[in-house]
Amino acid sequence: MDQLLAALRAVAETTRLRLLVLCARGELTVSELAQILGQSQPRVSRHLKLLCEAGLLDRFREGSWVFYRLNAASMAVALSRHLVAACGENDETIALDLQRLATIKRQRAEVAAAYFRENAARWHRIRSLYVDEREVEAALTEIVAARQPHDLLDIGTGTGRIIEILGRRVVHALGIDTSREMLAVARVNLERAGLDNSIVRLGDMYQLPLGDAGFDAVVIHQVLHYADRPAAVIAEAARVLRPNGLLLVVDFAPHALEFLREEHAHRRLGFADGDVGEWCRAAGLEPEAARHLRGEPLTVAIWAAHRPALPGELLPAARPEAAAPMARERVLQR
């Protein structure tokens, strides 16, 4: 009851209620919120601080930027959503706020599209070397659908495409990437797809800003060939897997295309099944049968491994419903 009363007190003010309505519609920075509300950043920051302290908003830092969104793990989330729904667009102030929000979202989309256009030719050349990406996505979807995971982590999410195709098959999805530019693209894509159960965060694949055993499925899609320590990436992915959780690694089988190393920063020219299996076993995972999707000249491999449940560990099917893993992130910048 105390938390609910604190939430009611925090939101019982015009600016803070407007902020709650805006943050329920996506992740926004302080500067974006100040622009929408027509108020100074220090003033908006003070209001945001009160909403965060009351558990209504979630705050996370991405480099020099700080984002805010509705706290889906709060005990007061039902209250938040009820208040947001009650603040309809018939209210002139809310309607104007939402118009300004729409403008900011269009600007984001334009920036993301420009970045994608600048890099599309480079990505298209690589994709032309292997099997149609739709075939890879179909295979991934089939594997994930058979496991029915609750929480999904996509390491090196890039444009967010893996979350786009798998996000509706899970309750929560989180994408991690080191590129702020790619995260901006991913946010636009996920918002356009209507995946409000999915978010992306800045993070290092060697040191994920996450607690142990928080996900039923982890995907590393076309990322491992950039790693100078691929075994360490797999070990970190294994750390965040729950008992019986599934790791899926999608990358190239061994090849000899040196230009990918010279022109596209690939550190490894593909991986052998035996190497990936050895790294998985070293991380405490049990490898499963690999799939090979043959292309010309590159073959895409899908390596799967699961974390065996130890005696006394709570299996995903038996565990109590928990808060979204995004709310349990161990983000060091907070």
SS (H, E, C) 245-263: EEEEEEEECCCCCHHHHHH
Secondary structure class of 63 (helix, strand, coil): coil
CATH 3.40.50.150-classified regions of the chain: 129-328
Residues 6+ apart with CB under 8 A from 15: 37, 39, 43, 44, 47
Phi-psi region of 293 (alpha: psi -120 to 50; beta: other; left: phi over 0): beta
> Could you say which architecture CATH assigns to the domain 2-101?
Orthogonal Bundle (1.10)
CATH 1.10.10.10-classified regions of the chain: 2-101
Structure tokens at 189: 């894509």
Q: CA-CA distances (angstroms) from residue 322 to 217, 222, 274, 314, 327? A: 16, 30, 36, 13, 10
At the top level of CATH, the class of 129-328 is: alpha beta
- Residue 275 has phi, psi (to 5 degrees) of -65, -45
Q: Taking the CB of residue 44, how many other CB atoms lie within 10 A of it?
A: 23
pLDDT in tens, the chain (334 residues): 777 888 888 889 999 999 999 999 888 999 999 999 999 999 999 999 999 999 999 998 866 778 898 887 777 788 888 888 888 778 899 999 999 999 998 888 887 677 666 776 677 677 788 989 999 999 999 999 999 999 999 999 999 999 999 999 999 999 999 888 889 889 999 999 999 999 999 999 999 999 999 999 999 999 999 898 899 999 999 999 999 999 999 999 999 998 888 888 888 899 999 999 999 999 999 999 999 999 989 999 999 999 998 776 655 544 444 434 444 444 333 3
